[in-house]
Amino acid sequence: MNNLAQFLRKNFHYLLFVILQIIAVILIYNTLNYPRFVISTFGKSVTGPFYEMRHFFTKHFNFEHENTILVQENLKLLREQESSFIFRSDSLLTEAELTKLNKRLRVYDYTYANVIHNTVHKKNNYLIIDKGASDGITYDMAVICSDGVVGVVNDVSEHYSSVISLLHSDSRISAKIYPSNQLGNIVWDEDDPEKANLLDISQHININVGDSVFTSGYSYVFPKNILIGTVCEKEVNSKSSFLTLKVKLSTNFSRLNTVYIVKNLYKSELDSLKSSFKNE
């Protein structure tokens, strides 16, 4: 014990040196931002892999919650799209009437649903989604997903709806091809769930393989400018005046999960106009 005390007394200055040096380093660390940043970055590079490992296992617990948040965000973005509105500034109304009305008139509203049943390889394919009349779904609403067009609502029950998929012999979607801006119709009549035919494009129109096909917006079921697919085959048919075009669909129908349902807010108005048109 005496020896220890003697040793300490003899070497006290070394201890003091170390202590003071530590104090200095602590001061440096506490007051200067850059060293703190460097040291904490170094610390994070050490602890990072551990957290990453933990995250690797725990991230799955949050997916459902994350997914709903993302779906809500997508809905918000879809609602704000330009194609969801009619801009009335170019109408026949006067300035005063325009300000009374909102200049921007919402035409399309969106909601989402989950696909609970889906077929791909039949001749006529249907989907069933988990939203129905109680959620405001009605006949003839468009169904899209983040990749592109899915189909049209066919039948509605209280909590579920059936959707005619694009992969159905009856489905017919008005389409526009870019950049030539020609109107055509998308029809599916074969067994390949990845491809559809684009009809009614005249032979003289210059179309290249790789051109994009969008919805035209003329049916008022689908909003404008939703991607349908890209042209993958072009054939000049000598018998008819139209081109035979095949479109690679952008939607992967075998992996549908969350879909968005498009509601046209002026559907009854348009329907009555159409019916009077037919009666004439």
Partner 1 sequence: MNNIVLRNIFRFVILLLIQIYVCNYVHFLGFINPYIYVLALLLLPLSIPKSLQYLIAFVTGLIVDIFAMTYGIHASASLTLIFLKPYVISWLTVGKNRDELTTIPIPGQKDFKWLLIYTFLMVFIHHFIVTMFELFTFRKFWLTLISVIGNSLFTTFIILCVQYIFTPTKKDYK
Q: Which residues bind partner 1 (CB under 8 A)?
A: 12-13, 16-17, 20-21, 23-32, 34-35, 38
Q: Which two tokens stand for residue 186?
A: 């998308």
Contact between 88 and 98 under an 8 Å Cβ cutoff? The reply is yes
Secondary structure of the chain: what % helix, strand, coil (to 5)?
Answer: 40, 30, 30
Closest CA to 231 of 200, 210, 249, 201: 210
Q: Which is nearer to partner 1, 25 or 116 (by Cβ)?
A: 25
* Least spacing, CB of residue 18 vs partner 1, in Å: 10
* Least spacing, CB of residue 30 vs partner 1, in Å: 7
Mind giving me the DSSP string for 74-131?
Answer: HHHHHHHSGGGEEEGGGSSS-HHHHHHS-SEEE-EEEEEEEEEEE--SSSS-EEEES-
* Least spacing, CB of residue 1 vs partner 1, in Å: 22
Beta-carbon contacts of 64 under 8 Å, excluding residues fewer than 6 positions away, are: none
* Least spacing, CB of residue 38 vs partner 1, in Å: 5
Q: Which is nearer to partner 1, 26 or 101 (by Cβ)?
A: 26
State the amino acid at position 202 in one-letter form.
S
Question: What's the rounded Cα separation, in Å, for the pair 118 and 193?
Answer: 12
* Least spacing, CB of residue 48 vs partner 1, in Å: 20
Question: What's the rounded Cα separation, in Å, for the pair 145 and 45?
Answer: 40
Helix (H, G, I), strand (E, B) or coil at 37: helix
Q: Which is nearer to partner 1, 32 or 116 (by Cβ)?
A: 32
* Least spacing, CB of residue 12 vs partner 1, in Å: 6
Q: Which is nearer to partner 1, 35 or 43 (by Cβ)?
A: 35
Q: Which two tokens stand for residue 211?
A: 């051109």
Q: Which is nearer to partner 1, 25 or 70 (by Cβ)?
A: 25
Question: What's the rounded Cα separation, in Å, for the pair 151 and 226?
Answer: 12
Q: Which is nearer to partner 1, 41 or 91 (by Cβ)?
A: 41
Q: Which is nearer to partner 1, 23 or 98 (by Cβ)?
A: 23
Q: Which is nearer to partner 1, 36 or 255 (by Cβ)?
A: 36
* Least spacing, CB of residue 9 vs partner 1, in Å: 10
Phi-psi region of 140 (alpha: psi -120 to 50; beta: other; left: phi over 0): left
